[in-house]
Structure 1
Amino acid sequence: MSTTSEITTLPVELKSTPEDVKLSEVSPEKKTEAGPSDKASVNSGEVQNVHEDYSEDEYKKLKRKIDKYLLPLMWLCYGIQQTDKTSIGTQATFGLREDTGLIGQQYSWLTTIFYVTYMVFEFPSNIILQRYKMGRTLSCYMICWGVVVLCIGFTQNFTHLIVLRALQGVFECCISPGFILVIGSWYTTREHASRSLVFQSANAGFGVVAHLILYGIGTIQHQHPERQVWRYMSYFLGTLTIAVGCLCLLLLGTPSEVRWLSPREKQIANARIRANNTGHDQTGIKRWKWKQARECLADPTFCSIMNTSFGFTNLQVILLDIPRSVFSVLWFILIGLVTSRKQNRRMYFMMFSVIPPFVGFLVMALLPNEPQHKWTKWGGYFMTVPFVIGMFLAWTLIPSNIAGRTKRTLTSSFTFVGYCVGNMVGSQIFLAKDAPRYVPGTTACGVCFGLEFLLILGWRVLLVMRNKRRAQRLEELGISEEERVERGKQLGEQDATDFENIYFRYTM
C-alpha cells in the first residue's frame, strides 16, 4: 500500500478464505495525507483526496449534471457498437453472402474472427485504459472501428471481409469494459446497476431506431433488385460511428478528464464515490501491481438467419425484432428502478432472467420448421430476450465488488475474454449442415442457460458467506458501522483490494 506508515495491523487474521491477509486498518486518529502526485492541480489531471463536506444539494445537482452529459452519450455509443457488431446478420439476409461469394462455414468465421481479435487485444486495451486518459482512448478506438465498418461496404470477397472483421474486433474490444470503468469512476455502488443498465439498454433501445433505418434501406432492394443494399447499410453505420466518436472526444471521460466540470465539481465528483472503498478515478493508475494480479487469478449473430428459416421474409425479420427490443428496454427500466432502490437484488434478477431463454431455446430446437409453427417458434425466440440481463448485471458487479485498480482491470479483461470465448464457440456450434433448424446449436444454448442459473446461485452464496464472515469478525473486534465505513473509504484511497480491505462489503 502507498502509505504503510499510517496502517496498523489488527491482532487477528482470517484463516479460511482467499482473504488470508493481515487485517489492516487506517488509524482512526489520522486522515490520509495527499502524496506528491495528489497535490497537482485538478486541471492537470491529478485529483486531490477530498475530505471536506459538501451539501446534499450539491451532490444531487452534480449527479443530475453527470446523468445529463454521460448517460445519453454512452447510450448512443453502446447502441451503435451493438448495431455495428451484429449488423452483418441483417446484411447476410440482403445478399452479403452471395455478393461476396461466401461458402460453407465462411460466414460463421466472420463472427468467430471478430471475437478472436476481441479476446487477444482485450488485455493490452484495458491496460491502456488504466494508464492513459480513458475518454480520449475510447473515442479514438470508436473512430477507428467506424472507419472499418464503413470499409465493409466496399468488400468483394471473403478475404476482405475477414480482415475487416478482425480489425473491428481489435477496435471494439475496449468499449464495454471501458464503460464499466467509467461508471465506477462516477457513481456510487448502489447506482452502478441502474446507470450501467441505462447504456446497456441501448442494445435493444437503439436497436429499434437502427432496425427502422435498416428497414428503410432494405426497401430499396425490393424496388431496385440489382442494388446491393447491404453495402448502403455499412456506409450509413460507419459514417454514424465516426461522427459519434468525434463527439466523444469532446464529452466522454472520467471526472479528472472532462471539460464540462469546474474544479470544485471535480472534487465533489470524487468525494461522492469514496464510499465505494475503491478510491477515486486517479487511484492506482500509475503503477501495475503484480500482487493484485495474483489476487485476481485466485478469485474465483445468428438470429436474423434463424428467423428467416422460420418462414419470415428479410424485411419481416427486421420488423419482428422491434417488439423484442421494446420489451427489452422496458425490462431494463424495471430492473434499473428496483436495483437503485433495493440493495442486493442484482443476482436475483440474473437468476430469473436465464429461465425464459432456457425454455425458449428448447422450443426453437424441438419444433419443426412448418408454417403452422412459425409464430410459436418466434414466441420461443421472444422468450430469449431477458438473457442479456444475466451478462450485463454481472458486468456491473465488477466496479461494485472489485477494489484495487490493477485487480479491477485484470478482472474486467478476464471477464470479456470469457465473453469472447463464449461468442466464438456459439458461432461455431451453428453449423451450415444443421440448417434450417440448427437443433444442436439451439439445444446447446438452452443447456448453457441452465448451467448459468446454477453458477449465479453458487456465486451469490459465496458472497453472502464472505459478508457474514467479515461482519462477525468486526463485531468481535468491537468496530462500529460508522468506523467500518470511514476506515473502508480510507483504505480504498490507498488502492487496497477487496481482499485487503476487511471493511469492504460485497454487493449482490
Structure 2
Amino acid sequence: MGSTDETKAAVPQGEDGVALESVPPAVAASLHDGKMDHIADVAVDMVHAAEEEFTDEQYRKVLRKVDWVLLPLMWICSGAQYADKVSVSTQATFGLIADTHLVGQQFSWLTSIFYIAFLVAEAPGNYILQRVSVGPTIAVSMFIWGILVFCIAAAKNFASLMVLRFLQGAAECTTYPALIYITSTFYTSQEHAHRSVIWGTANAGMDILTSLINYGIGTHAKEHPNGLAPWKGISLFLGALTVVLSVITYFIFGTPREVRWLTAEEKRIAQARIVRNQTGTDVEKQPWKWDQVATAFKDPQTYFLFFLVIINSIPNGGTTSFGNLVYVSFGFTPLETIVKGKIPQQCLSIITFIIAGYITLKKPGMRFYIMMASVVPAFAGMLALALLPRQGMLWTRWGCYLITIVGNVAGPMIWTLVPSNIAGRTKKSVTGTVLFIAYCTGNCIGAQVFQAKDAPRYIPAIIICSCMYGLEFVVMFFWRLYYIWQNKRRARLVADMGLTPEESLHQGALNAESDMTDYENIHFRYSY
C-alpha cells in the first residue's frame, strides 16, 4: 500500500459512483470500462445485496436458524475434541500410568506427541479445508480420531500409546480451524467473540458431562476390581461418542454456500449479513494467491498472534495433562478429584465464558479488556500455589487452583481475532496455520514444563505458568495499542481522500468481496 496512492485527494469514480483507487486492478478496469468481469460482477452484486436487498427482519430470521442448527453441534464437536484430547489426564488417575508401565517423562510425551502431530498435519489440513467442503472434511477426521480413541483402550505400553496419540493429533488438526472458519462465514465481527465463546464453553461443559460419566465408570471399577479397567472404559465411551458425532457433522457442517439446510435465498441472506465485516464472503471459492502469503508475513498481526498464542498455550498444555495430578497432590483421591476439583472448576469456567461473551456482544471494543482481565486471577492463583507452605491448607490450595481456570477465557477470544481482523482468503488460511503452529508449539512446551522429578507439587512448572499469564497481559496491551493506531491512521488517510464514512464503508466492502486483504484495504477497521 503506497503512501502516495493513499493520500490522493481526487478519487477516480466508476459508473456506479464507486471509488476505484483501492479496488484490485482487474475489478477497477472492468468497472471503468463498463464491462465488469466475473470477479467484479460477484463483488458488486454481493455488496448491493447487503446494502439494499434484504431487511433487518430477514437477517434476524436467518441468524436465528443458523444459531439453532449450528451452535449446538459446534458446541458438542468442540467439547468432544477437547475431551478426547485431554482424556489421558483423567485416565492417568485411574491406572493408565501403572497399567501401561509409563516411567519418567513418558506421560508428558503422550501430550507432546499429540501436538507435534497436530503441528505437522496443520498446513496440509488447512489446505484440504480450503479445497474440500467443510462438512465432509470434519466428518472424516472425526470418524478417524474416534476409532483411534477407541483403540487406546487396547494399548499395553508406551510405544503403542505414542503411535495412537500421534495419529489422533494428526486427525484432529482440522476441527478447530474449521469451527473458526464456519464462525467467520456465518457471523459478523461483533458476533465472533460471543459465538466463539458459546462453543468455547464446550471444553468445560463437555468436561463436566464426561467427568460425571467417568466418575460412574470409576465407581463401577472400584466395586468390581476384576472387571474392565476404568481408563479403558473412558476410551471406549469417548471413542464411540466421537464416531456417532462424525455422521451428524457430515450432514450439518459447511459454509453458507455448502450447507443443505438453508434455501437458496437464505444462503444469499447469510452471505449478505457478513459483507459488513469487510473480510470477504463465501460466495465462491478463491484461488490460492502467493502475494497474500507474502502479505501475511509482512503484517505485524501475524507476529502478535504467533507469540501470544505460544504464551497462552504453555499453561494450557501443562494443566490439561497434569491438572488432575495437581489435585491429587493436594490430597484428593482420584474420584474426589473429579467431583471436588474438575467439576467446580469447569462450572466456574462456563460462568466466566458466558459473562465474557455477553459483554463482547453488547459492548464493542471490550474484547482485549476482557482477555487482559481474565489472565489476572490465573496469574495470582498460580503464583499463590507456588508460594504456599509445602503441607496443609488443602482448601486454600483448592481455591487458588480453582481461579486459574478464568484464564482459559483468553484462548478462544484470541482465536476470534483471525475471522474478525484478517481479510483475503489465502492470507486468512496462512494466518490460521500460523495460529495453530503456535498453539501446538506452546502446548508441547507446556507438557514438558511439568517434570516427573518435580512431582507431586510441580512448583517450577506452576511458577512458569504464572509468568506466562503475566507476559500474556503485556502482549495483549501492546497489540490493542497497535489496532488503535492503525484505525486512526487509516481514518486520516480516508479523510484526506475526501470520502464520507458511508463511501468508505461501501468501498471497503467492495474491496473485501474482491478478495483484497485487510493489510491493503485502507477502508478496513480492526475490531478489538
CA contact (8 A) 2:422 2:428 kept: yes
- Partners of 1:180 and 1:396 within 8 A in 2: yes
What letter corresponds to residue 223 of structure 2 in structure 1? Q
1:51 counterpart letter in structure 2: H
Who is 2:315 aligned against? none
* 1:152 and 2:152 matched: yes
The corresponding residue for 1:24 is 22
CA distance in 2, matches of 1:303, 1:432: 14
Residues 478, 308 of structure 1: alpha-carbon distance in 2 compared, 3 angstrom cutoff: same
- Aligned to 1:121, the other structure's residue is in SS state helix
Q: 1:485 corresponds to which residue?
A: 505
Q: Report the equivalent of 2:275.
A: 274
Given the alignment, which residue of 429, 432, 443 partners 1:423? 443
Partner of 2:314: none
CA shift at 1:38, angstroms? 8.1
1:239: which partner in 2? 240
Report what 1:19 is aligned to.
none
Matched residue type, 1:83: A
On the 8 A contact 2:279/2:421 being kept in 1, the answer is no
Q: Which residue of 1 aligns with 2:348?
A: 327
Q: How does 1:59-458 map to 2 (within 5 A)?
A: 59-227=59-227, 228-282=229-283, 285-300=285-300, 301-319=321-339, 320-370=341-391, 372-458=392-478
Counterpart code for 1:458: F
**1:154 and 1:121, CA in 2 relative to 1: closer, same or farther beyond 3 A?**
same
Aligned partners of 1:479, 1:96: CA distance in 2, in Å?
65
TM-score by length of 2: 0.88
| 8 Å contact from structure 2 (residues 299, 519) kept in 1 | no
Of Structure 1 and Structure 2, the greater helix share is in 2
Alpha-carbon contact 2:135-2:249 (below 8 Å) kept: yes
Residues in 2 aligned to 1:482 and 1:426: alpha-carbon distance in whole angstroms: 47
2:188–2:274: 8 Å Cα contact kept in structure 1?
A: yes
Match in the other structure for 2:48: 51
| 8 A Cα contact 1:309 1:369, kept in partner | no
Pick aligned residue for 1:463 from 465, 469, 483: 483
C-alpha displacement of 1:12: 4.0
* 1:202, distance to aligned residue in structure 2 (A): 0.5
Residue of structure 2 in register with 1:5 after alignment = none
Tell me which amino acid in the other structure corresponds to 2:376. I
Query: CA shift at 1:83, angstroms?
Result: 0.6
CA shift for structure 1 position 120: 0.9
Shift of 1:33: 4.8
RMSD of aligned Cα (Å): 2.3
The answer to whether 1:472 aligns with 2:473 is no
Q: Is the 8 A contact 1:50 1:267 kept in 2?
A: no
Q: Following TM superposition, by how much is the alpha carbon of 1:477 offset from its aligned partner in structure 2, in angstroms?
A: 1.7
Counterpart-to-counterpart distance in 1, 2:401 and 2:248: 36
Give ranges in structure 1 of 5+ residues lacking alignment.
Answer: 2-7, 14-21, 40-46
SS at match of 1:208: helix
Number of matched pairs = 486
Q: SS where residue 479 of structure 1 aligns? A: coil
C-alpha distance after superposition, 1:332-365 (max 9, x if no partner): 1111111111111100001111111111111222
Alignment partners' CA distance in 1, 2:130 and 2:445: 29
What secondary structure is seen at the aligned counterpart in 1 of 2:521? Answer: coil
CA distance in 1, matches of 2:8, 2:173: 43
Instruction: For 1:394 and 1:493, locate their aligned partners in 2 and report how far apart those are by CA, in whole Å.
Output: 25
Instruction: Decide whether aligned partners of structure 1 residues 315 and 361 sit closer, same or farther in structure 2, where only a CA change above 3 A counts.
Output: same
Equivalent pair of 2:372/2:476 in contact (CA under 8 Å): yes
Aligned mates of 1:55, 1:116 — CA distance in 2: 48
Deviation beyond 3 Å, 4+ runs, structure 1: 8-13, 25-34, 36-39, 47-50
Output the CA distance in 2 between the equivalents of 1:417 and 1:299. Answer: 17
Matched AA of 2:370: F
The C-alpha deviation readout for 1:422-468, integer Å capped at 9, x for no partner, is 11111111110001111110000101111110000000000100000
Distance in 2 (alpha carbons) for counterparts of 1:337 and 1:425? 33
* Per-residue CA distance 1:98-133 (angstroms, 9 max, x = gap): 111111111110001001011111111111111211
3-state secondary structure, aligned to 1:24: coil
Letter in 2 for 1:225: P
Indicate the SS of the match to 2:22.
Answer: strand
1:50 offset after TM fit, Å?
A: 6.2
Q: CA deviation at 1:212?
A: 0.7
Q: 1:264 is aligned with what amino acid?
A: E
Post-superposition offset of 1:267: 0.8
Unaligned runs of 5+ in 2: 10-19, 301-320
Distance apart, 1:49 and its partner CA: 3.6
TM-score w.r.t. length of structure 1: 0.92
> Per the alignment, do residues 48 and 216 of structure 1 end up closer, same or farther by CA in structure 2, a change over 3 Å counting?
farther
Measured in 2, the distance between the counterparts of 1:93 and 1:333 equals 30
Q: Percent identity?
A: 45
Q: Deviations over 1:23-58 (max 9, x none)?
A: 61487988995718988xxxxxxx974633112111
Q: What is the CA distance between 1:221 and its match in structure 2?
A: 2.1
Distance 1:398 1:286 in 2: 18
Which residue in the other structure is 1:16 paired with? none
Q: Deviations over 1:164-205 (max 9, x none)?
A: 000111011111111111100001111111111110110111
> C-alpha separation between the residues in 2 aligned to 1:406 and 1:36?
16
